[in-house]
Amino acid sequence: MDTPLRTVRTNIVQSIRAFRVQDLQDAAQSLGHHFLYANLANAQSKQDVLDMIAAQFTFPSHFGKNFDALCDCMTDPLHKSGPQPGFIVVLEQIPAHAKFDKEAREQLLDIFRDAADYWGDRKIPFRCFYSFL
């Protein structure tokens, strides 16, 4: 497999570092995985972050817009909807300021770490890449 992911283990949350978003999207397409992308550069608060993720990931309108609901949307309903090929998730420019502080950032990333574990337990690749603003 000649993709930028050949050296990245399958169930991980990590900094985007040297990866380009377009290369990750191309890799998702070549692997047949879902590609979920959210640019959070304009988010000013936790609610903004959740709203932007919900809109850019096209969550259902009944999405609860809290961290528990985000966790639920990234795991169980997808699992119940049938076999999943894998996921490549990009959270670009997560805000790093007083209204979305280090604790909020860690809580957000923990949700995606939990999702990586959830899918790993089901032998489904789940890779999440992030950057901070």
pLDDT digits (tens, 9 = 90+) for 21-70: 999 999 999 999 999 999 999 999 999 999 999 999 999 888 888 999 99
Q: What is the mean pLDDT of residues 98-106?
A: 93
Number of domains in the chain: 1
Whether residue 2 lies inside any domain: the answer is no
Residue 3 lies inside a defined structural domain of this protein: no
Q: Which structural domain, as residue segments, surrounds residue 106?
A: 11-132
Tell which residue, 4, 9, 19, has the closest CA to residue 120.
9
CA dist 133 and 115 (Å) reads: 23
CA distances from 91 to 1, 21, 32, 122 (A): 24, 10, 20, 23
Is residue 100 a part of any domain in this protein? yes
pTM of the model: 0.93
Mean pLDDT computed over 73-87:
83
Does 18 reside within a domain? yes
Residue 6 within any structural domain of the chain: no
CA distances (Å), origin 59, targets 14, 69, 118: 23, 10, 19
pLDDT of 18 reads 85
Structure tokens at 119: 């899918």
Residue 65 lies in a domain: yes
* Residue 37: strand pairing partners: 90
Is residue 44, in this structure, part of any structural domain at all?
yes
pLDDT for position 79: 64
Length of the chain: 133
- Tell me if 32 is assigned to some domain: yes
